[in-house]
Structure 1
Amino acid sequence: MKTKKIKLSKSLLIIFISITSILNAQKAETPNNTYDLGATINEMTLTVGGVLVVATNDGLVGIKPTESKPVFTFNAFGQLKPEETEFVPNSPYIIVSQGANSKFAGIAKTKRAVIDYITGDVIFNTDEANWNQIYTCNIILPENKLVVSGIQKEGDKFEKMTPKVAVYDLSSRKLDYSFFLDKPGRVGIARDVSVTGTPLLMKDFIIVPTAQGLIAKSHTGADVWENKVKDINWMVADKTGNEIYGFETTSNGKNTRIHKIGKDGSELWNDDRKVKGNVSNFEITSQGLAVVSDKNDGGSSSVFATKNESEIAFLSAATGEDVWEKAPKTKGYVQHFYIQDDGILFGIQQGGINKISFDGQALFKKPLKTGENIMIMAETPQGLIYITSEDANIVDLKTGDQVWSKPLKYKNSAAVASTYDDAKNRFLIAANETVFAIDADSGDVSELADTKFDEKEEPNTMQMKNGNIFLSSSQNMMLLGSNGNELYHEYFKSPGQSGFVKVLAGVVAVASTAMAMSTAARAGANRSAFGNSNDLSSYNSYGKEAKRASDMFAAIGDASFALMSQRFKATAATENSQFILTKLDDGVGLVKVNKETGKIDKEIVLKDKKPEYQVDEFGGILYYKANKSTINAYDLKK
């Protein structure tokens, strides 16, 4: 039988080819890698280094997208509770803890392990190192050391009962040195030398805070000095290493005592200095000591209860006495705190910005009244820009005078997005379904465009794209021309509210992980590892922050940190795309949408009404929990 040829018109052929190409480009249901973990998955965490760490019923598993098999599997301690896994901020390390953390030997066995999740190496394991009990386990950066204290099952019967400290080098994975905190078998009055806080590494010795007092030991374990300053939780030294400040939380937890100690162990103040609440920020300046402490009534309804607010104090480094005659009123918690050449600039979460000189004089003519939740305080060529959930303005950093004739005000908005349009020298702020354009020099405000997003969403991202204005939220994307005309608005219906949806972009992983820091780390301990967090940043400085993170990691000189540095040197793999979970024809899925066109470049059907997944936007990888024990990885860059 003769086959009949069907002739397609040129236009129909082009349409057919185009549709076929689009469908082929969009569909990507075959994963690039599949990881069968052999145990029920409980939680997935995307790390700063780009490795997905999965908690299972058996332990922890690390997945690196460039590897077809897990980079590590840690099952030595069995299933772990969330609180037993600590991701050390801005590092490739995980500290795994299990068992009671008793001060007293012999009561209960405690286990600790340290994992480098990038290489997959278990650097330290109490079982392998013969530790029976651990009091403290701290990673010190940028020195890249691990300091542990506790009871080690080595030596004679007295040594097996005497508290010990060991310092491990995390780069070489070897023990640097160790020593006993007391003489094994010592006869006499019992001494409680259990470790109470984070040890402080000095150039030639280490200071260990104990219930007996501070004990300084050389790297050989030789005694350097001891004093009677007890129960210190954390310490910080000045740049010279000659002066050390120790912080002790009082027994009721409502106050903090600050002690000053010389490098020879002498107490440099006649008496310690007590501040109310827990110290949340501490800065050594050339003029004195800036201290922020947070008070909390613990939920008390008593009229005599402590107010829930921060206190700011400025102390003499020489004596510990108050330099300011009267501390500034906060009436809320300090949300922003910056040390500047002429004084201290701070913003309150409940609203308000002020600046005080180092001698206690108000530098602003009057405290600024602002809306609640100060999302941004940053430096611009025009002055200090602040953006809250209710208003925005630029003010003179010296006087507090308004640069804009009056603040931009809008109704309390769940989300506020902003950016700077360099080509037109203007700030753009999106709030309450409106994009406002503010001339950077005059402060003149105009309503540039309306942004009515579906599902009552508000834009939470705004950036300039080739002279146009890109806005987005969870389910909406919009591109505006420079004059506010709408180039596209794409809406992708949400598959329904789900508490199981977990998205953490690698771009913001540093910030997210930093929030998990201990109070001590945020306040100042180990701050040298991260640079000075009390410096005021420049507006729209993401590129600078990424370079800062890259340089910080590179400076440590370790192979894993070098890989993290390379990650932050690279441009985000998906900077021109947004990923949205939506309802597709074949079920719930993730779409990759081009920011410049609003068109779908790829779609991945997940076939799950409540998918659990993580997107590494920096590396361009989707991790999806395909079933109770399997992770699928999709390359979103292609």
Structure 2
Amino acid sequence: MNRILFFVFALLFIATGTIQAQEKLWSKDLKEVLYEVGWVEQANNGYIIASGAKGLLALDHSTGKIVWHNKELKAVDRNSFRNIDGLPLFMAEYAPIAGKKRGIIINAIDGSIVFDTKDGNYSIKEYYLVPEKACILFELMGEGNRQVMKFSLKTWKEEWVADLGELKGLKAKVNNVMGMGFIKHGPIFTENELIIGLKEEIFAFNLKDGSTKWQMEADKNIKALVYSDLNNSLYLGVKGSKKLQVFEPGTGKDITPGKLKLRGTLIDIIDDGKGNLVLVESEGFNLIDPNSGEFKWKKSFKIDYLDEVIPYEGGYIAIGKDEKKSPIAIVDANGDKVWDTDVKGYIYYALPTKKGVLYLSTERSNILGYDKGKDVWDKDIKFKSIPAVTFDSKLNKIVFYEGGDAFKLDPETGALDQIAEDVEFAEVNKKTELKAEYVNDGYFFYTANHLSFMNTDGQVVYTKFFKAPYTIEGLYQIAEIGLAAYGIDVDIQGSIDNLKTLEAISNGTLYTNLDQAEGSSSSSLVVGLYSGTSSGTWEPVFEVTKKRYMNSKLTKDHQFVVTQMQSEGADPVFIYRINKATGEIDQKIPLMDKSPNYVIDNVDDRVFVNEKNKIITGYQL
């Protein structure tokens, strides 16, 4: 839940506009309580969490009052702090004076520790929120040993911990150091089992008590692990293998039909949403009938460089991917070709729309009609990088921006209109991970260092670049941009988040998110935690409402930046709140430290600053 923004770099910002004074809500000196405040964060319920030499505490974000203080949790590692989405719980790690590192889960409301790894020297890596099973699944790692823990959302207590053995391989150990999880496939939940796929291993646990029901180790890396509830079967594909295996999820018994053999190497197995499994391999793709466990088509459909198959209402879209050309074909439900064609360049994204197949390649982009595969747009678009994408909910159109050009796409008709050509955004190039947002009848384009706004006619209202006056040294870079983040060796860069936005638009999930007004007071339940009573009813323990916990970044009219203003030999630091539509500064907070530790709360328009490692101040903007 992106309800809190944290900035790593200070930003240089010079602008004009009316600046209003901010209201100081409260100020708290914690020197006596914590001696020295190492860091502050914000929990999902709004409380400010402060860590120091004398423990960990929570401040009421409205009053500054200390709500709880745990004196044992001294010098908690800030890098380990992580909120659990939609709940007033957070994870952290600390090392007692006498003892090994401990991973803990804390209830932010009262400070109670709801889970503790104790002296096992375990870290909490990843978590999976599973509301339909009323649980959270946590990955635990300690001294090379892997565990999973099932945490109940009914009782807020650990149900069981299961062991998965030692971590294997140098790469896996490096990933562990970098904080990455070890579950590669799943978790898969059947009626009675939890199934987890690791790099080369499969574990099946009893969902009730965590006992191991069965496990197996593959010869090579697991490429696909898919459960079908249509026939209660588990499908396994191993890298480089020409055999597809089928197992009973409850026993691990091999029930592979004799005729289910691969002609090439496995690429993927997906559910088409029509009662079939789609088997994609290097030699083509076919449908598996869950009832018989055998192929439905006598012959697999094949195209060169086959890499992806996308089910859609009328059949299947088969896509081959090569650096110079990408074949694409429409296949009907019987496995027969409707049409096929070659697209120049590498297709790095394809999406079924109502009018046809929208594709983005390194050479061109267009929509191919479902009937004959002809171009829907009269002219191709060439994106040099992944375009910034947003959805105009008022016009019901998808907006693209890249390389100075902006377009509007009607998803109903496929009509494309260019609204801007050769415009310049300050310091933006093809490597810039530019993202977009629909705000106040216009389009806001941004990164941590860039702010630009374009009206619906394509006119640039303003464009600003915020240069960082200092950088953080000594850190190794682990993030990747563009297709490199997907392991694709093609020179196309930009923010992968834009591809996720396109997918959300296609699925209809982005429409609801964007159809919200700033300051809306409506409160609808997003997620709830309930406890069963002896009478069989459920009583609410904690309810998360849209008003407080929705992702407000897409509904607010302002962006926060931190700047260091150079004047008369001094370098005062400010937090600015900038109007997205105008670029003007309308609020500012002067800071005492050059590099303060602070939290920006977009939900309540507040800023909380930790200065001189002892004073925490809350401001209302």
State TM-score, norm by structure 2. 0.59
Q: Contact conserved, 1:592 with 1:602, CA < 8 A, in 2?
A: yes
In the alignment, structure 1 residue 460 sits paired with structure 2 residue 434: yes
Q: How does 1:89-100 map to 2 (within 5 A)?
A: 93-94=89-90
2:560 corresponds to which of 569, 579, 593: 579
From 32, 35, 38, the counterpart of 2:34:
38
Matched, 1:405 2:378: yes
State how far apart, in whole Å, the 2-side matches of 1:123 and 1:202 are: 27
Q: Note closer, same or farther for the CA distance 1:114–1:355 as it changes in structure 2 (3 Å cut).
A: farther
Distance 1:391 1:563, change over 3 A: farther
Aligned pair in 2 of structure 1 residues 563, 66: CA closer, same or farther (>3 Å)? Answer: farther
Residue 432 (structure 1) shift: 2.0
Amino acid at match of 1:405: D
Q: Which amino acid aligns with 2:544?
A: L
Which has the greater radius of gyration? 1
- Alignment partners' CA distance in 2, 1:167 and 1:618: 31
Pairwise CA distance, 1:602: 0.6
Matches for 1:408-419 after TM superposition, within 5 Å: 408-410=381-383, 412-413=384-385, 416-419=388-391
Equivalences for 1:189-338 in 2 at 5 Å?
202-203=190-191, 217=206, 219=208, 229=216, 237-239=227-229, 243-245=232-234, 259-261=246-248, 263=250, 266-270=253-257, 282-283=270-271, 285-290=273-278, 315=288, 317=290, 318-319=292-293, 325=300, 338=310
Report the aligned-residue RMSD: 6.2
Please report how far the alpha carbon of residue 627 of structure 1 lies from its aligned counterpart in structure 2 after TM superposition.
4.3
User: Which SS does the other structure have where 1:538 is aligned?
Assistant: helix
Paired with 2:138 and 2:29, the residues of 1 have a C-alpha distance of: 34
| Secondary structure, aligned partner of 2:586 | strand
* 8 Å CA contact 1:547, 1:568 repeated in 2: no
Q: Which has the higher strand share?
A: 2
Q: What do the CA deviations read for 1:491-544 (whole angstroms, capped 9, x no partner)?
A: 3653435348x9xxxxxxxxx9xxx9xxxxxxxxxxxxxxx9998643885342
CA contact (8 A) 2:407 2:416 kept: no
The Cα shift of 1:395 comes to 3.7
Q: Distance in 2 between matches of 1:453 and 1:149?
A: 43
Q: Distance in 1 between matches of 2:552 and 2:267?
A: 37
**Structure 1 residue 420 displacement after superposition:** 3.9
Residue in 2 aligned with 1:123? 114
Contact conserved, 1:492 with 1:583, CA < 8 A, in 2? no
C-alpha distance in structure 2 between counterparts of 1:121 and 1:561, whole Å: 15
By how many angstroms is 1:261 displaced?
A: 0.8
CA contact 1:495–1:609 (8 Å) conserved in 2 = no
Gaps of 5+ in 2: 1-16, 141-145, 165-182, 476-480, 486-499, 517-522, 532-539
Corresponding residue for residue 16 of structure 1: none
Matched residue, 1:519: none
Q: What amino acid does structure 2 have at the position aligned with 1:432?
A: G
Q: What pairs with 1:162-561 in structure 2 (closer than 5 Å)?
A: 168-174=151-157, 202-203=190-191, 217=206, 219=208, 229=216, 237-239=227-229, 243-245=232-234, 259-261=246-248, 263=250, 266-270=253-257, 282-283=270-271, 285-290=273-278, 315=288, 317=290, 318-319=292-293, 325=300, 338-345=310-317, 354=328, 357=331, 365-369=340-344, 374=349, 382-386=355-359, 392-396=365-369, 400-410=373-383, 412-413=384-385, 416-420=388-392, 422-423=394-395, 428-436=399-407, 443=415, 445-446=417-418, 448=420, 451-456=423-428, 460-463=434-437, 465=439, 467-472=441-446, 474=448, 477-485=451-459, 488-489=461-462, 491=464, 493-496=466-469, 498-499=471-472, 537-538=505-506, 542-545=510-513, 553-554=526-527
2:130 matched residue in structure 1:
141
Give 2:380's aligned amino acid. Answer: P
Shift in alpha-carbon separation, 1:39–1:404, aligned structure 2, 3 A: farther
Cα distance change on mapping 1:313 and 1:442 into 2, 3 Å: closer
**Alpha-carbon distance in 1 for matches of 2:587, 2:506:** 35
Secondary structure at the residue paired with 1:489? strand
TM-score by length of 1: 0.58
The corresponding residue for 1:592 is: 577
1:144 partner letter: A
1:622 Cα shift?
Answer: 3.6
> CA separation in 2, counterparts of 1:596 and 1:497?
28
The superposition leaves residues 548-593 of structure 1 with CA deviations (integer Å, 9 ceiling, x where unpaired) of: 9x98943765868731655455865962222233344672323222
Matches of 1:229 and 1:200, distance apart in 2: 16
Q: Cα–Cα, structure 1 residues 200 and 462, in superposed 2: closer, same or farther, change >3 Å? A: closer
- CA distance in 1 between partners of 2:41 and 2:243 (Å): 34
Aligned equivalents of 1:328 and 1:385: distance in 2?
19
Q: Which amino acid aligns with 2:134?
A: N
Change (3 A) 1:575 1:115: same
Q: Which amino acid aligns with 1:122?
A: I
CA distance in 2, matches of 1:43, 1:384: 49
Aligned residue number for residue 22 of structure 2: 28
Distance verdict in 2 for CA 1:393–1:84, change over 3 Å: same
Amino acid at match of 1:433: G
For 2:512, the aligned partner's letter is: K
Change (3 A) 1:289 1:630: farther
Residues 73 and 415 from structure 1, CA distance in 2 versus in 1: closer, same or farther, beyond 3 angstroms? farther
Say if 1:494 and 1:29 are closer, same or farther in 2 by CA, change over 3 A: farther
Distance 1:409 1:321 in 2: 39
List per-residue Cα deviations over 1:268-319 (Å, max 9, x = no partner): 32589899999887547445334689xxxxxxxxxxxxxxx99988655444
For the residue of structure 2 that corresponds to 1:544, the secondary structure is: helix
Matched position secondary structure for 1:171: coil
CA distance, structure 1, for counterparts of residue 505 and residue 472 of structure 2: 34
Maintained 8 Å contact 2:286/2:295: no
Where in structure 2 are the equivalents of 1:10-29 lying within 5 Å?
25-28=19-22
Give the match's secondary structure for 2:589: strand
Query: Deviations for 1:90-123, whole angstroms, at most 9, x for unmatched residues?
Result: 7655555799xxxxxxxx9895533345664422
8 Å CA contact 2:305–2:327 kept in 1: the answer is no
Q: 1:574 to 1:122 in 2, by over 3 A?
A: same
CA contact (8 A) 2:359 2:366 kept: yes
